[in-house]
Structure 1
């Protein structure tokens, strides 16, 4: 089984969100199961030099982007037993950030076509191309249109994973010809047309052999009008080809037993491990070292993450006997708000506006509670990492949060965190207060944290589901040929 991951970002090379974590960890798990999986991504200028210096040039050629002839280099690097191919074009990718440019449509139209054209340059012919989010959404569509009939591409199947339906790659109608040299036969409701524009993600939803998303609950949510981002009708029509496969975490990276970022890796009792790391965090942030619940948020500061709820009842939260630390960057309105709240409640609240990977690990280990009240959350990795470190999540019951966090039942003592269902600030406040109350019931709290830390949050189960999906696609293809 040969699988090519086409992605716009991947750890450890470059990261802006959870997609990069998935692209870095799922291939490793598939590799353990005997899959020849390789990853293709852009060679961004901000990839750290130690990685770039180890890349070896495989090929050079030109890629047609509409009327343009653009240089394409393929560079190869093997990292942790996975082969990575980097698409090199400095005009498109040697920039200060990954996304957010006026020519993003052209940049990723180039990348989609470079991925397909590169197959004629490599000694690797995939059975399946596994595409991720809108940045690679045109690959399945191009395979069934522009590349249809070309012998080398005839047997390739495609899987497309939706990591976040909100970002779709919507471009003007002119991009059809200007970027892909496709005519108006493809501009209709059953193809790329989307409210007068074209839509990269829709291209994949129309053409991919199988569609997955990153949790079972999110799979159901996106077929509804509220969560469907105007694509719910198409997703519902393709429900027989749609799967919800829960993300995991890389337990080699997020492992409290051997995490080098921690002041005290987990070696003896969980209580001692948490206490040592909590004291370190309190001292680092100039908080009083005392036995009160320490709540953390490690998040993008955007409305999607439920920060409107936090802002609405923040003063009420500060009335509780707690400490709180926020780590993240994002919308200026929330950055400003948290800075202002630190000025007002500096003895118990701190805001780190920015991101620091090592500090994030320390917060996961040192905090008691992890607040994640998302408006929607396809899967979410933060709550899984928090659980792995014995930090109990407080979440809204949406997407992957609903699938992974089960609210504590005081009668059966079942559960691994705390949750609320309505997107309502006072429901969240009630749940925060409930969590704080149980923190002070040490027998309950010890049971909850011990339960959280021993559960399996790795990719092992989900990787099996992906492998089964691949095998079913390939075996059906072989059966079709034999018939």
Structure 2
């Protein structure tokens, strides 16, 4: 089985969040399971790596293109270099333009390298145009929605000429969406099968509450048997408390206590239990709910927050950082993230929606019990006898769940049993990777 993944980011070469983590782990496990796997992504100016150039040429209506290659973990990584990506950072305001350019370069670059996949698998809206083009060529295609909120929209009258797609795509049955080009919709309509990153999220996005305006398309896909949820896995080597170089390594509760003591000493925290947060600062992640709940939380918890994003949320946390029980570290700091996962007693994820989520899996693997809202992948991954779940997206509901966690924390034997159950859960990529390969085999057989 020859599989080509198309993505906007892939760890460790480029990453802004969970998408990069998934594409850094899933292909390697698929390669271990016998597939020939290629991952195609942009060659960013800030790419963490030095690809060897394997092709250069002019692609009609795109212009000069270079393709670089790296191999790692049995996976071939191809990086497509375009002038539009020769700037700092990954994402920018003109990304619909940039990723239509990228999308138009991918299939010609694969052809130039004589690479013909059995299945092409696109990820999120940045790969939607490639999936649509592959559909027109009759290639078997899969498309995964990692976050439906981001759709790649631009005024259709301006953007239609960028894509190279036929006129049939610019209708309500194609990629048109309320007068816009919608590249997420292009991927949904063009794919032979659509997956999301958890079974619960696959159900939620067919509703008006979570469907982001595309629920009609997603209901249609469900009725045709073309939408399913495959739960994301976790990179077991990168997130392993027994070998993690960033924390006091441990495999049991005694080691967990050492990690907690180290985090407490690092920030000068008092003896209250520690509630950790590692997150983008965004309304989707419920960070405004966390901030509103802080007056209640600090009565029982030290709260350690790592993250960056919304300036208003950032400013609010900076203000709260004057409190002796609130620590706020702005930005992304992977070693500190590891120390928080390992050293916190509980971990808060008050998300308004969460397609899958990796943080709750990491937390449980490190003996830290999640306090989560009942949505998306948080429902699928946090058992009621391990973590603490709440239904309403309100600061009051979050505070009550944290109060329940604090009460449970006083029963040290009961808490230890929860920790043991959480650390024993299997979130490896082995099962999900096999599910994807089974899907590819069905698509290729058609």
What does the per-residue CA deviation read over 1:260-319, in whole Å, with 9 as the maximum and x for residues that have no partner? 111x2115xx2221111111111211223x3x3110100000000112211222111112
Measured after TM superposition, the shift of residue 182 of structure 1 is 3.8
Measured after TM superposition, the shift of residue 176 of structure 1 is 4.4
- Aligned-partner SS, 1:432: helix
Give the counterpart of 1:211 among 191, 194, 197: 194
Alpha-carbon distance in 1 for matches of 2:166, 2:417: 62
Give the counterpart of 1:71 among 54, 64, 73: 64
2:317 equivalent to 1:338: yes
Measured after TM superposition, the shift of residue 348 of structure 1 is 1.3
Task: Indicate conservation of the 8 Å contact 1:177/1:183, yes or no.
Answer: no
Aligned equivalent of 1:26: 26
Aligned equivalent of 1:266: 250
Measured after TM superposition, the shift of residue 175 of structure 1 is 4.0
Alpha-carbon distance in 1 for matches of 2:156, 2:140: 27
- Aligned-partner SS, 1:401: helix
Aligned equivalent of 1:315: 295
TM-score after normalising by structure 1: 0.90
Task: Indicate conservation of the 8 Å contact 1:63/1:110, yes or no.
Answer: no
Give the counterpart of 1:249 among 217, 231, 234: 234
Taking the TM superposition and a 5 Å limit, the aligned residue runs for 1:331-370 are: 331-343=310-322, 345=323, 347-370=324-347
Measured after TM superposition, the shift of residue 461 of structure 1 is 1.1
Give the counterpart of 1:430 among 400, 420, 424: 400
Alpha-carbon distance in 2 for matches of 1:253, 1:114: 32
Aligned equivalent of 2:42: 42
Aligned equivalent of 1:400: 377
Measured after TM superposition, the shift of residue 143 of structure 1 is 2.5
Alpha-carbon distance in 2 for matches of 1:18, 1:25: 11
Larger Cα-atom Rg? 1
Give the counterpart of 2:355 among 359, 368, 378: 378
Task: Indicate conservation of the 8 Å contact 2:11/2:24, yes or no.
Answer: yes
Aligned equivalent of 1:329: 308
Aligned equivalent of 2:7: 7
Give the counterpart of 2:437 among 463, 467, 472: 467
Unaligned runs of 5+ in 2: none
Alpha-carbon distance in 1 for matches of 2:364, 2:396: 24
Alpha-carbon distance in 1 for matches of 2:172, 2:114: 38
Measured after TM superposition, the shift of residue 124 of structure 1 is 2.4
- Aligned-partner SS, 1:71: strand
2:100 equivalent to 1:109: yes
- Aligned-partner SS, 1:125: coil
Compared with structure 1, are the counterparts of its residues 182 and 454 closer, same or farther at alpha carbon in structure 2 (3 Å cutoff)?
A: closer
What does the per-residue CA deviation read over 1:366-402, in whole Å, with 9 as the maximum and x for residues that have no partner? 1110000100000000001001111000000000001
| CA RMSD of superposed structures (Å) | 1.3
- Aligned-partner SS, 1:238: helix
Alpha-carbon distance in 2 for matches of 1:144, 1:418: 43
2:143 equivalent to 1:160: yes
Unaligned runs of 5+ in 1: 149-153, 408-414, 477-483
Measured after TM superposition, the shift of residue 178 of structure 1 is 2.5
Alpha-carbon distance in 1 for matches of 2:294, 2:2: 51
What does the per-residue CA deviation read over 1:248-270, in whole Å, with 9 as the maximum and x for residues that have no partner? 110010001101111x2115xx2
TM-score after normalising by structure 2: 0.97
Aligned equivalent of 1:411: none
Alpha-carbon distance in 1 for matches of 2:351, 2:108: 39
Alpha-carbon distance in 1 for matches of 2:208, 2:336: 38
Measured after TM superposition, the shift of residue 455 of structure 1 is 1.1
Alpha-carbon distance in 2 for matches of 1:3, 1:118: 15
Alpha-carbon distance in 2 for matches of 1:425, 1:137: 36
Aligned equivalent of 1:151: none
- Aligned-partner SS, 1:142: helix
Alpha-carbon distance in 1 for matches of 2:333, 2:109: 35
Task: Indicate conservation of the 8 Å contact 2:160/2:170, yes or no.
Answer: no
Aligned equivalent of 1:286: 268
Size of the aligned set, in residue pairs, is: 444
